[in-house]
A = this chain, B = another copy of it.
Amino acid sequence: GSASLGLKKLRIGMIPADGVGREVLPAAQRILEALGSRIPKPEFTHLDAGFEYFTRHGEALPQETVAAMQNDVDCALFGAVGSPTRKVTGYSSPIVALRKKLNLYANVRPVHSINGIDPRHVDMIIVRENTECLYIKQETLTTTEENGKEARATRLITERASKQIGRMAFRIALARARPEQPAGLTIVHKSNVLSTTDGLFRESVRAVMQENPDWSDASKIVVGEQIVDSMVYRMFREPEAFDVVVAPNLYGDILSDAAAALVGSLGLVPSINAGDTFVMGEPVHGTAPDIAGLGIVNPVAAIRSAALMLDHLGYTEPAKQIEEAVVDVLKEGVRTKDLGGSATTEEVVAAIEKRL
């Protein structure tokens, strides 16, 4: 989208949340600031959320944060959110809630290897439905004589949301099509077991092909399917066979971690949560409690998430420049511990900054 082109300033909500989220968001901020006049002057607003916030205030996502996202900022960056190690009454993941409340229906996660560093060629974009599936969190608990406690969760798949994510996937695929080299689009499901829910997902994604002649043109996009278990297997055996991958929420969650493992580290993989009117960048990694606060977390995923966010807003050139700077720095060997290097967060940020 290019809705934000022509802004005087770019108001960015910053939600570091927990753990290393508090280190990688400042890193992304510095890189955005280093772009100077290439983007509208960024204006950062700190917004609260997270498990740590919950332990102090009794809520993980304050209403002010949601309201600010809806009214006061043009886009946002999210850090990472901690998970309680035991069931905590009243706690519910703020990232899952934000995705739903702002209808950020698409979670787009590009994963690609770097020539000369990674042994395998990986260049895929995982397009994950972001609002339904088991993430609606409708769960019940009862007790029966036979089974003791019985817990049930509802998995919801709608035609509307599946078509919506399908359209996003086809748009992304079409943009990757080259003359003589059609893009690939793989629909992931488990309709051999879940014939109704996953059957609906598969059918709905296929149905949108008819809405655009380019989408149903096999010289531009080749559509395929994989059952989720077999997809994980094949992703590891022949990652080069996959291009754009579209999946229901939970499968997309698992597949993006699988893809991240192929390119060396979760610390490299960015995402955006995108809706029709708002976009929120978010690194795919978690809070990394073992290294939080040590200044050694890999800032690349967050920096790339900022770039993806810019790209989504129509600032394609500065987004590309960030990505090129990141790749240069990684190739030069300025790498954090997760990549086998010894650079600090600060050293990586400074190196990327210098190149911009």
| Residues on A facing B (Cβ under 8 Å) | 83-85, 87, 91-93, 96, 134-135, 137, 139-141, 146-161, 163, 190-197, 199-200, 203-204, 225, 227-230, 232-233, 236-237, 250, 253-254, 256-258, 260-262, 266, 286
Q: A152-B154, A154-B154, A161-B147 are in contact. Are A192 and B254 (CB under 8 A)?
A: no
Residues of chain B within 8 A of A232, CB atoms compared: 232, 254, 257-258, 261
Residues of chain B within 8 A of A152, CB atoms compared: 154-157, 197
Closest chain B residue to A201, Cβ basis: B151
CB–CB B286/A257 < 8 A = no
CB–CB B147/A193 < 8 A = no
Stoichiometry, as copies per complex, reads 2
Residues of chain B within 8 A of A93, CB atoms compared: 192-193
Closest chain B residue to A84, Cβ basis: B192
| Most interface-central of A84, A140, A192, A258 (chain B CB within 10 A) | A192
CB–CB B96/A193 < 8 A = yes
Q: What separation, in Å, do the CA atoms of A225 and B86 have in the docked complex? A: 11
CB–CB A148/B159 < 8 A = yes
CB–CB B258/A258 < 8 A = yes
Residues of chain B within 8 A of A233, CB atoms compared: 257-258, 260-261, 266
CB–CB A261/B286 < 8 A = no
CB–CB A257/B229 < 8 A = yes
A180 to chain B, nearest CB (A): 26
CB–CB B150/A153 < 8 A = no
Q: A134-B193, A194-B137 are in contact. Are A151 and B200 (CB under 8 A)?
A: yes
Residues of chain B within 8 A of A150, CB atoms compared: 156-159
Residues of chain B within 8 A of A146, CB atoms compared: 160
Closest chain B residue to A161, Cβ basis: B147
CB–CB B158/A147 < 8 A = yes
CB–CB B153/A154 < 8 A = yes
CB–CB A200/B159 < 8 A = no
8 cross-chain CB contacts under 8 A: A83-B227, A134-B193, A137-B195, A149-B204, A151-B156, A151-B200, A152-B155, A152-B157
The 5 A-B pairs at the shortest CB distance, nearest first, are namely: A148-B159, A139-B196, A83-B192, A236-B261, A147-B158
Residues of chain B within 8 A of A203, CB atoms compared: 87
Closest chain B residue to A191, Cβ basis: B87
Q: A228-B254, A233-B260, A236-B236 are in contact. Are A193 and B156 (CB under 8 A)?
A: no
